[in-house]
Amino acid sequence: MNANEVNEVINNICEKIGIGINNVKEFVPVFAKYKAIDSALSWLGFLAITVIFIILARKAIEAYKEADYMDRDIFGFAVGGSTVVALICGCGSLCNLFDMIKWIIVPEAMTVQYILDMIQ
C-alpha cells in the first residue's frame, strides 16, 4: 500500500466519523492526542485496580495471621489471588504508561506504526 492509498483510507475514515481533517498532517496531532488520552485513562484504571487488590491482599494477610488453623486455606487463597491480580494489573498499568509516553514524545512514529499494524 502506497502513501496515497493510506491518505485515502484516513480521509475516508475521517469523513465517515465526521472529523474535518484534510490530510495526514492534520490527522496525526488529533489521533495522537486521542491515543495519549486513551492510554492515560487505561493507565489510571489499571492503577486503581492494582491499588484495590494490594489493599485486599494486605487485609487478607492480616486475616490470615488472625485466623485459626481451619480457615487459613481460604485466606491464603485470597492473599495469593489478590497478589496475582495486582501483579497482572500492575504490568498492564506500566504498559499503558509507556504507551502514553510514546504517544506524547513521538506521535508521528506511533501513528505510522499504528496504521501499519492496522493494515497488516
> Torsion angle, CA of 72/75/76/77, rounded to 10 degrees?
130
Q: Is residue 76 part of a domain?
A: yes
Range of the domain at 34: 28-112
Residue with cell 491480580: 85
Q: Is residue 21 part of a domain?
A: no
Q: Is residue 67 part of a domain?
A: yes
| Contacts with 63 (C-beta within 8 Å, 6 or more apart), sequence order | 75, 78
Looking at the predicted structure, is the pLDDT value of residue 7 above 80? no
Q: Is residue 13 part of a domain?
A: no
Q: Is residue 16 part of a domain?
A: no
The answer to whether 43 touches 51, Cβ cutoff 8 Å, is: no
Tens digits of residue pLDDT in 34-64: 999 999 999 999 999 999 999 999 998 888 8
Structure pTM?
0.73
- Split into its structural domains, the chain has a count of 1
